[in-house]
Chains A and B, each alone.
Chain A
Amino acid sequence: MYGGGYIFDEPNKRQLNEEQLHDDPEKLADFEARIARGEKIEPGDWMPSEYRRQLIRLIEQHAHSEIMGALPEGTWITRAPGFKRKLALIAKVQDEIGHGQLLYNAAETLGKSREAMINDLLSGKSKYSNVFNYPAETWADVTVIGFLIDAAAIVNQVANAKGSYGPYCRALERICYEESFHLKQGHDAFIELATGTPAQRAMLQDALNRWWQPIMHFFGPPDKSSVHSEKLMQWKVKMASNDDMRNQFLDTYVPKIWDLGLTLPDEKLRKDPDTGKWEYSDPDWDLFKKVINGGGPCNQERLNVRKWAETHGRWVRKALMNPKDRIAAPVA
């Protein structure tokens, strides 16, 4: 699961122009024509260096978000109530690792090794979705994550699956299929609490209140404040604007939440019947930036846990390393 909105390092005009000086104009024209025709770009194809750089960044951060996302939900694996919930939660967290695996492979086709990506995650150089730097305090948090954050991720991933890079699209196709299970099991567990005892409902309402702002942050800053990304849109790296995705999410899921008699902590939240657009209070974007830069409640723990896993798995990996092996990147 992942929300890509903010993560783009928008290329500034000067940098883009410089990069493009090095790109063969004829090849660039062919490349752009191919994308305009709706064709996919494959690993061996010529591509502008900026396209490669942005894609590596995007896919890598998506991959990091999957394996870091496994941590807040993993919080409740050993406490999940009953067989069905226990099995579904383990399977779901397992899928997140599986998604990371698929995405790292897709990024590797662009020339960056999995090891290099993991190192950039561990050093903090490369980011992951902000939402996973918040704690999952109660069982209800897991249901909110499973239902609403996965739903938000699906909005983003379905859009990205129509992008231009073949290996990323193929990974997303499989991921979206599995996300539909995540959403369904999350929704099921969410509804169980919503329709359960007063204590269960109260627990759910509390979790919703705490997660609403991170969810509003999920798709990234509003379009008006983010740098223009025409080039990335033209290259089908970025497939939808942050506000459009946020609006699509609100349109589908807010009614489902209200239907259950639950409330959302934003008095301004309403759909404008004339424009069809949702209105809401601006979430705290300074907080958003602070969390990205390491100041969230769980950033430190998440990274330390990831470092633990890498450190304690090292002897296993090293034991079976074969330095004489011919190693190649994934083919497709």
Chain B
Amino acid sequence: MKKLGLIVNPIAGMGGRVGLKGTDSPEILAKARELGAEPVAPARAVEALRVLKHHMAKFELLTYPAEMGADEAEAAGLEVRVIGKITSGKTTAEDTKRAAKEMLLEKVDLILFAGGDGTAADTIKAVDALVPILGIPTGVKMHSAVFANTPQAAGEIAARFLREGLPLQQAEVMDIDEEAYRENRLVAKLLGYANVPYEPVMMQATKEGSSGFELADQKAIARGVVELMEKRRIYVLGPGTTTRAVAEELGIYDSTLLGVDLVKDYKLLARDVNERQILKAIRGKPTTIVVSPIGKQGFILGRGNQQLSPEVVRCVGKENVWVLATPHKLSLTPTLKVDTGDSELDREFRGYIRVITGYRQTRMVKVV
């Protein structure tokens, strides 16, 4: 029988309605409670579980006690095996990590969690990409690409994954500095990748194009990009799985996933470089920047790839920035954004940009 682990972060999302951006620190949580914030995660988790139950007759459900899952499972009318211990009413990030680790040891097929970016980050800190995860969206910040669009969708995807075995897709887990976020600055870090069940839209036959499997799409993009590459030109590969697919297509298997690499003549020139190193390498040389939008917000510059500073971008020129994104990714972020910290440069990017979306296929996408 299939095993499902459930983790509810009961305080996720509490900050949102009272105008606080996240509840990562105990002080903020206290403040949120003071402002009269109500928990939102439990109710949304119950919604997801109801749909799951509807689609799936038999599976084993494992969860943590009380508000971390047991209560929600009961409310949805599901039988559950409760593991671990918590202090009800005082759960922390450590509880999430512990729960995830124990579920890994229990060999669950999927961890379904209710929370936001923080919960996603805690989960992958504990289990890396060893267990597929799927987020029921309940948090304030959901920049990571591990969340279903609605709680119902989370239930349905989980059921289909357990029942039919959907393919897995690597999805970014983003960590946003909440302090900065509260001050209206977005400092996003790409923290890592999780394995997430991928649900291709169930298309009628194949009269239609588009949509397919993420990995195959990335590979197709990579093949197209490699065909376009010229000798003696430097290619600055930004972070992400799509750009890594390009490196792999070149036969480079030790590129960095979260950092910036330099490639020349189809070979790795330098690995995980910072802004200074990039500038030193590219000055006066023909260069192309290859980036992919990061997270659900669709930033192509300025989030998770701050090494590509305004100076670097100016040095290369807008016309030499290649943006790569799979059709699936673009469906999540129909418009793209830039936030280099240099508003004049940002303005240059506004309007339409060509995004490479497949093998010899590009798409005009609006940058706002």
A binds B: no
B positions within 8 Å CB-CB of A: none
A positions within 8 Å CB-CB of B: none
